Structure 1
Amino acid sequence: RDLGLAAALGHAVLDVSSRPRVAILATGDELALPGKEAGPDQIFASNSFAIAAAVAGEGGLPLDLGIAPDEPAAIRAAIERAISEKADILVTLGGASVGDHDLIRPALEACGVTLDFWKIAMRPGKPMMAGRRGGMLALGLPGNPVSALVCSVLFLIPALRRLTGCADVAPQIRRGRLGRDMPPNDHREDYVRAALSHDADGVPVATAFPRQDSSMLRALSEAECLLVRPVGAGPARTGDPCEILLLPPPL
């Protein structure tokens, strides 16, 4: 449609933005590829496929770096590959918390990435980190599937939109009403998976799912929005005003 309009107006040449190259690196000995046999201490890798789909949906070019084992040298080699491939964004998945196998931060720093922040006051997604190496943005997403995808909505997708020349890159947040009572919130901003409906006046109504564990990917798959609960929010009743972050509809 847009090309047809440009041609109808007589434009032979158009200014465009290049499609951002996004390198995606999953980490962890516990990950097995779908279609392969998973060991007794493994789970199937899902984050890299979901993130690649989000990148492609925003006009980016995903570059799959595979799964790096919990070995510093292997992780550094994968990061160096992203650098050599001239990725605009490097997304790492997992290994961003504090533990014996959380190796992403030292690997990024060893490859020349300067971190801007590590850990944020949000749920899910506390271990999120971000930094830069020259013109490459590095985003370290948590390993929990829901945490990784919520962080991608709030950080990765806006970054992609900025790189592709969009003027409005912020997540789409609307005012609405609660579909059920909510408990008080603590010191982290909470993004609650919820169903979306509308009342008789057309006002959006967000009804939080009863279970919100960050490993429950099905709840996020079925969610139509994220209910935003501010830091220190008190208990809220059904029908109270709220903020709703809309999620892209399923295909």
Structure 2
Amino acid sequence: GGGAIEVMEPAAQGRNVRRRGLDFGQGDVLLESGRLLDPAALSLAASANHPNLDVVRQPLVAIIATGDELLPPGSELGPDQIISSNAYGVIATAQSVGARALDLGIAADRHDAIAALVKKAVAAGADVLVTLGGASVGDHDLIHDVLTGEGMKLDFWKIAMRPGKPLMFGRLGNIRCIGLPGNPVASLVCSQLFLKPLLARLGGRLYRPDIRTARLGAAMHANDLRQDYVRATVREDAATLVATPFGIQDSSMLRMLADANGLIVREPFAPAAEAGAECSVLMLR
């Protein structure tokens, strides 16, 4: 009271004072180009009094599943029908690198049905068009003909890898078109290898696959002319990664892919390898 202040403990000069420019100063670069705007980056930009930031637009990937045999989850299946599952994994792959996904549904095995959904993808302004199935050479594999008929310029079709041989890539104007195999595992492995890096780059993100050196937990046969991506469990044993391949590698077996946390990469014509041999592993999680 009376305008008087009683100081109860000594005061040191500068205590409880944050000097101007302690955190950053005029002209400092606070966020490099390409920086992901995580919580700290957003708060930093706001604290520097920036109400707006220039960002890279999220790429849009449109997804078309094809096949008369496909039905959505929850359907009553007939003897010649299966559940359409690939799109969900592709959408999750796209979202993991910041892309937006537009699921255009299932097209019947008819030129007009597929072409109608391709036109929807174009009208939506898709940056990438992904088709699921129909990219092989069977009587009902129409993707190649439909897309080239719509003006796509084909870059390549079929690659020497397993799973994923029928992969197709081309450009429809400014839209990148990726024809993924219909087998679920092949579709998701190809999404990991081709779609994910593409969408990351279009979204302004750096992307490096997580490839590590490990030791085989089981012997593997010699490889043929295709590069193999073998589903495996990867664990740490005495500071060494051990990758153990699953015995069956059928490309329809999704449960095995869900259980795998890595893919052993086997070069074309790789010789037989004993347990304990060094190998390369692409980590999935």
Q: Which residue of 2 aligns with 1:199?
A: 237
Match status 1:150 vs 2:175: no
Q: Which residue of 2 aligns with 1:136?
A: 175
Q: Residue 222 of structure 1 aligns with which residue?
A: 259
Quote the residue 1:26 is aligned against. Answer: 65
Aligned residue runs from structure 1 range 66-215, under 5 A: 66-167=105-206, 169-200=207-238, 202-215=239-252
Q: Which of 41, 50, 54 pairs up with 1:15?
A: 54
Q: How much does 1:237 deviate?
A: 1.1
* Aligned-pair Cα RMSD in Å: 1.1
The answer on 1:233 being equivalent to 2:270 is yes
Between the two proteins, what is the percent identity of the paired residues? 55
In 2, Cα distance between equivalents of 1:224 and 1:142? 21
Q: Name structure 1 gaps, 5 residues minimum.
A: none
Number of matched pairs: 246
Question: Which consecutive unaligned segments of at least 5 residues does structure 2 have?
Answer: 1-38
Q: AA paired with 2:259?
A: E
Residue 35 of structure 1 is matched in structure 2 by: 74
TM-score (norm 2): 0.84
Q: Separation in 2 of the partners of 1:30 and 1:41?
A: 6
Q: CA deviation at 1:57?
A: 2.0
Q: Deviations over 1:100-140 (max 9, x none)?
A: 00100000101111110000000000000001112110000
Report how far residue 56 of structure 1 moved: 1.8
| Secondary structure of residue in 1 paired with 2:177 | strand
SS in 2 for 1:184: coil
Matched to 1:217, the amino acid is L
2:4 aligned residue: none
The TM-score, its normalising length taken from structure 1, stands at 0.95
